[in-house]
Amino acid sequence: MEDSIRVAYFPDSFLEVNGVAMTSNRLISFVKKRELPFINVHAGKTTAVVQEGNFTSLSLKRSPASFEMDEGLRYDPFFQRRARLASAMPAGRLPGADTSR
């Protein structure tokens, strides 16, 4: 049995339209193409888990404290506090997550 490193990535922008989100999405394409073990955790409108082979995407619903910083860019000061939910993997074990996608 071969041990492998699993990477958890927490970008501050993922769904937005900016340079960080574009670079993050290119990284995700690279990871998926090479079937690397990877978890992408980002803020979103809902909490949801999508599993594709070795790749897992965890979207965490933004808190009511989130606010708009720029057009299409929201900041959630409590996002990192919710990042501990990433340890609830695999996908089916995340409370309140929509795993139907």
**Per-position pLDDT tens, the chain of length 101:** 456 667 888 887 888 878 888 999 999 999 999 999 998 988 888 889 898 988 989 888 888 999 988 887 888 888 877 666 666 655 444 444 444 44
Going from the C-alpha of 96 to that of each of 46, 47, 54, 77, the distances in angstroms are 9, 7, 22, 21
Strand partners, 74: 68
pLDDT for the residue 85: 63
**Predicted TM-score of the model (pTM):** 0.73
Strand partners, 34: none
Token duo for residue 25: 């999405």
pLDDT for the residue 25: 92
Which residues are within 8 A (CB) of 4 and not within 5 positions of it... i.e. 6 or more apart? 37
pLDDT for the residue 11: 83
Phi, psi of 81 (to 5 degrees): -65, -30
CB 11, CB 40: distance < 8 Å: yes
